Chains A and B, each alone.
Chain A
Amino acid sequence: MTAYILAQQLVNGVVLGAIYGLIAVGYTMVYGIMGMINFAHSEIYMLSAYLSTIVLAVLVYWGIQSPLVLILLTLGVAMSMTALYGWVIERLAYRPLRDAPRLAPLISAIGISLILQSYAVLTQGAKTKGIPTFIEGVTRFGDAVNNVQISNIQVLILIIALCSMVALNFIIQHTAFGQACRATQQDRGMAEILGINTDKVISLVFVIGSAMAAVAGLLVTMNYGSFDFNIGFVMGVKAFTAAVLGGIGSLTGAMLGGIILGVSESLFAGLVNSDYKDVFAFSLLVIFLIFRPSGLLGKPEVEKV
């Protein structure tokens, strides 16, 4: 009995963790390159939930039935729209503060976050929205009483999350843009002297991070079916926790941190108490910060002279 609950929560945890990881990537990339936490990132995720619902509704209205086509088209539109949001936010809220003290862009980020929330309330209303599940089907392992269920949506979430992560890792590790990106992260001034347009690199980092958040937004909407203007907050804090857990600034760390956080949270909810799962998640963060402040894969910060 307990073994089945354990296995079931493990599956749920990995799926949840994959989504945390997708959002955490956005935090970690922006932190790595600019040394600031982009609090508006979670609102991008929230907007993508709305965007993908709207796109889905339009596509269904046009008579498209195939779930795969629906998902791919929605993903494409939602990703490009949020990428645009990310680009505009960086341009308007952060770039003018590039050389300002570190607190200034942080406050600007909180401001943007509030603006985006209010924008969602004003245009879409404060009520909870939802979409019907359009991918049915569950695979069961075990008998009628004791079993582990994996829904097709969960499988799909894992596949899409995995593909996005692999693609992102490839871009960062093996393309010229990725090289420029890592160079900018390590020494922005020097990268600029070598002719790299660091402003462009930073813009693209925002665009990529936002697109990843859009993937997460669509996946969560498909999985849970409902959302409101406030979903960004808890998800954002969790994803940020995942990024810190994995070592902020490290891409693989963010993905790993997401999975660890998702799994441990689900296990706690299934085996101990589901009311206190958030408390557990953040206690985990506190414990980690005490014993390993640089996270799992992060490098200890060296004071620059």
Chain B
Amino acid sequence: MKRVIFSFATLLAIAAVFAFTAAAQGWQIKTNYNVQFSNPGVSGIFKTLKGDIAFDEKNLGASKFDMNIEVASINTGNGLQNKHAKGSDWFEADKFPLIKFTSSRITKNGNNYLATGTLEMHGQKKEIGIPFTFAQKGNEGTFAGAFTVNRNDFKIGKPGGDVDDMVKIELSVPVTKK
């Protein structure tokens, strides 16, 4: 009898541990995402976004974003501008092919969330906060967020000039449950 009680107690303890450390729901990025950047001097999109998303509104502690954008997929709508953006004066796509964001914590603020983490661009890392919303419908959902970065923080281009220092980045990422 003692053995049975001990076994049950052990199972209960294991279940409790798993309940508290349960991984957040994984999400698969759908293909119709949109990563847009704009400022008065230049605007465009990045066509390739990849990454791992674990997000649970009820378990933000276990939620995490690990996202990559391919620099070479930049499209401003103009071939010369695209080449220039990938070149040594701006992103240096050959040397720094990815823009990376890895969240360290996600917090809730009213109906919105804030993903705080490290943004790495052009070999420079900086901690930023990305405010976003998440609209879920069944097994699908959409993350939407917008934030502004100072390109000088990442040594992209020269300060001043035709392209403003502050660049607005807007994301819309439709996902399905894994």
A and B form one complex: no
